[in-house]
Structure 1
């Protein structure tokens, strides 16, 4: 197992050396209201991308970012059409509301511009199908970015499952969330749409339920669940009057089950996963810390702990990865975490979960 992992690491290092020789990818930024946008500004200094323009009608918001990241306001355009016309980017990254993702694809796909959106892909299956059709018709990459895609622990857990260390998967528990957008002090522009059922597609069920749906689809090699059952609650009506802030989603497969716990009510922010196989369990406790337990007797076990380093470029950063994909240096498989196919299933799961929570009934996927 470790020999295989060592060979893979060497291969990734070679890939990193090769892609570092090309010109930076010309990228446009669509919107600044999603505060994950800090990631692309921090990534630009690596050299894989060049931000050639920003589409943001809120000039005060744009000035705040311009002052923080020292870029000229001349780089900011009132809308995406103006940015595209002036700068002709090779790719656009979307940092507005989830509802606005469709508009970004409608503007970019016919021009052959590749796209990366922040999670989840879309607010509904209706939007997702339109986006998928445009991406396929115009032969562009349409990727979805999740923070957890870049966690070394998740990839090590996946490799250990593939290596049969813990046997076939029977149960997965995935927990994501924090104390809630208002409680952690997100920017007002972000809070406005994040707690809007139209612009975000829901509350915690969308914001954090998507992580578990994405990871589970990956672990199950792209397999869709048979059923989706969800329960939502509103435990902070004073902070989230229009959306849920607590969601439990159960997915069933022919030989496995998943429990996704998506919450704006965690006392401490978390993104962790437990994978229970026939022969052991893997705990991806956070970005870097992983544990494996092998059972001994009824309730005993032996435990292996690992503290993992960051993955090699371009697998350590979403925008380096985007550039490598567009350059043809990385091939995106259908079940991959960023892949359109995976994320169509994610939206299907979220769509079913919202319906299940509303009706109180299990939804069987066709």
Structure 2
């Protein structure tokens, strides 16, 4: 790579931004050119660690700076407007998961980048974990068989315990986040199921509020996705005890095997087959350079023209957002939601992608 990509960051209120700024600073092929956020303490935090232009308004940054791409780390409801403005200026866009607060917002993003001829990636931080990459690789091999069930549990101590005040303020706002734990945490399992199993035909969700006093949004939820010959569940929990052991767990069952992956960057991985019914622990390999972080992958795809990782593709994340919308409605109305029929398509997004 000979080009150095100039990146502008719009929004600092999503706590995931800080790790991404570290990855950006470490990249030999990208540089932080500018940041924009109206909160002065967050701008001060950036300038203490990085040298770049600063703005109080992302629109001014997008208008004035000569950039190659914009990272979007504001609230979910504001993200589509930022992405559209960046695309209209001819900048590529990386948006933090899940994508938007609503399906309508996600579709606006896709329409904008397609009209502008630029690229859009949705960053899922779990994708860069070695055990996740290895599990997805195992689960998409022919010898694994057809996937018939997937379970994913995401949980942490809750916004007030785990998040900065800037992040907690909007993640507990049903308009700015889209909902509560459904959008924040169930999205991980929904996204994984969509990439591996395709778009479900029916969605059922149950949500609860066990905080006292109650939060404005649900603090725990279960989403069930029904397929013709399979099912998937995505759990999301705020306020749990024991995140290191029960934070982000997933099990994927195929007709000839099963993989279970544990949480964290150094999480464990087990593979079960008919020959090894008790399961074998696997040490996953370290990610390839272009799979080590969101920035590494984004820049690699821009430079090479390759597709993004299946979990990070706009079409997959658009369908993830559709399931989130259906789950929110299902939990509120107490009914199962049947998704609109669509032309036949490949179920698994991994068919043309290998590490």
> Is the shorter-chain TM-score for this pair beyond 0.5, marking a shared fold?
yes
Determine whether 1:324 maps to 2:311. no
Determine whether 1:190 maps to 2:171. no
Query: After superposition, what is the alpha-carbon deviation per residue over 1:278-323, rounded to whole angstroms, capped at 9, x for unaligned?
Result: 2332111234411012247xxx923211122430111111011111
SS in 1 for 2:167: helix
From 33, 39, 55, the equivalent of 1:52 is 33
Equivalent residue number for residue 14 of structure 2: 34
Q: TM-score, normalised by structure 2?
A: 0.90
Equivalent residue number for residue 352 of structure 2: none
Alignment of 1:1-366 (within 5 A): 21-43=1-23, 44-67=25-48, 69-71=49-51, 75-184=53-162, 186-220=163-197, 223-238=198-213, 241-269=215-243, 270-286=247-263, 287=265, 288-295=267-274, 301-332=277-308, 336-366=310-340
Shift of 1:182: 0.9
SS in 1 for 2:101: coil
Distance in 2 of aligned mates of 1:305 and 1:311: 18
Provide the aligned length of Structure 1 versus Structure 2.
Answer: 334
Distance in 2 of aligned mates of 1:189 and 1:275: 35
Shift of 1:330: 2.6
Distance in 2 of aligned mates of 1:199 and 1:157: 33
Equivalent residue number for residue 343 of structure 2: none
Distance in 2 of aligned mates of 1:268 and 1:131: 37
Equivalent residue number for residue 3 of structure 1: none
SS in 1 for 2:210: coil
Which stretch of structure 1 is more off in the superposition, 129-138 or 91-100?
129-138
Equivalent residue number for residue 349 of structure 2: none
Shift of 1:273: 0.8
Shift of 1:49: 1.3
Shift of 1:354: 0.2
Distance in 1 of aligned mates of 2:192 and 2:29: 26
Contact kept in structure 1, 2:210 and 2:219, CA below 8 Å: yes
Distance in 1 of aligned mates of 2:39 and 2:278: 56
Unaligned runs of 5+ in 2: 341-355
What's the C-alpha RMSD, in Å, of the aligned pairs? 1.7
Contact kept in structure 2, 1:48 and 1:319, CA below 8 Å: no
Distance in 2 of aligned mates of 1:39 and 1:329: 25
Shift of 1:66: 2.1
SS in 2 for 1:208: helix
Contact kept in structure 2, 1:209 and 1:261, CA below 8 Å: yes
SS in 1 for 2:277: strand
Shift of 1:201: 0.4
Which stretch of structure 1 is more off in the superposition, 76-85 or 96-105?
76-85
Query: After superposition, what is the alpha-carbon deviation per residue over 1:106-139, rounded to whole angstroms, capped at 9, x for unaligned?
Result: 2111111111111111111121222221111111
Contact kept in structure 1, 2:72 and 2:83, CA below 8 Å: no
Distance in 2 of aligned mates of 1:302 and 1:22: 49
Distance in 2 of aligned mates of 1:217 and 1:191: 28
Which stretch of structure 1 is more off in the superposition, 49-58 or 127-136?
127-136
Shift of 1:211: 0.6
Unaligned runs of 5+ in 1: 1-20
Distance in 1 of aligned mates of 2:269 and 2:208: 31
Contact kept in structure 1, 2:157 and 2:238, CA below 8 Å: yes
Shift of 1:23: 2.6
Query: After superposition, what is the alpha-carbon deviation per residue over 1:189-232, rounded to whole angstroms, capped at 9, x for unaligned?
Result: 11110110000001100001111111111112xx2101000000
Distance in 2 of aligned mates of 1:123 and 1:25: 28
